[in-house]
A = this chain, B = another copy of it.
Amino acid sequence: MGRPWILDYDGANCTIGAAVGIIGERWTFLVLREVFNGVRRFDDMQRRTQAPRQILSDRLGRLVDRGLLRKVPYQEHGQRSRHEYRLTEAGLDLYPVLVALMQWGDRHAVSPAGPLALLTHRDCGERVRLELTCGAGHKLASAREVTPLPGPGARKTA
């Protein structure tokens, strides 16, 4: 195979790198999984992820700082005010990342019992999946049908 063009370009402006720099960490994924599942409170997250409290607190703080989660106060009767965590619009946009991980896991890392959860379409009940498509409406079977090209942020290396 030929030399890939990407070798002649600087890795700067790679948006995979940028995204991974923000969320590419085990506990961060697990926190996001919980929030997408509707789990919004610290103690629930802590119990489900088994993350050490200090790490969970740190990861939640970073996700808030990055604008992916926001803190919303709540108060239960007779208790002090607390806050829960909700996804911002930028956070909601991470959903395909989680679904892609889940889809891969369902295929390659599933236990004999089967997966814990199934994703269904709220309106019709059918199973949800991610599809690789193109602007002309073609469905792509795999990465082999994709050609990466230099984008506007590509800079040749010196």
Which residues of A are interface residues toward B (Cβ below 8 A)? 1, 4, 6-7, 9-22, 24-26, 29-30, 33, 36-39, 44, 48-50, 87, 90, 92-111, 113-124, 126-136, 138, 140, 142-155
Would A117 and B7 count as touching, CB distance under 8 A? no
Would A133 and B134 count as touching, CB distance under 8 A? no
Would B15 and A143 count as touching, CB distance under 8 A? no
A11 to B37, CA, bound (A): 12
Would B118 and A13 count as touching, CB distance under 8 A? no
Contact of A104 among B6, B44, B96 (CB under 8 A): B96
A12 to B113, CA, bound (A): 10
**Which residues on B sit within 8 Å (CB–CB) of A97?**
97, 100-101, 104
**Which residues on B sit within 8 Å (CB–CB) of A30?**
16-17, 20
A9 to B148, CA, bound (A): 41
Please name the residue on chain B nearest to A44 by beta carbon. B7
Given contacts A25-B26, A122-B146, 11 further A-B contacts (CB under 8 A): A4-B39, A16-B30, A20-B26, A20-B29, A93-B108, A119-B149, A122-B144, A122-B147, A126-B134, A129-B133, A130-B132
A90 to B132, CA, bound (A): 17
- Chain B min CB distance to A156 (Å): 11
A25 to B134, CA, bound (A): 29
Please name the residue on chain B nearest to A129 by beta carbon. B133
Would A152 and B114 count as touching, CB distance under 8 A? yes
A135 with B126, Cβ < 8 A, contacts A26-B20, A151-B116 known: yes
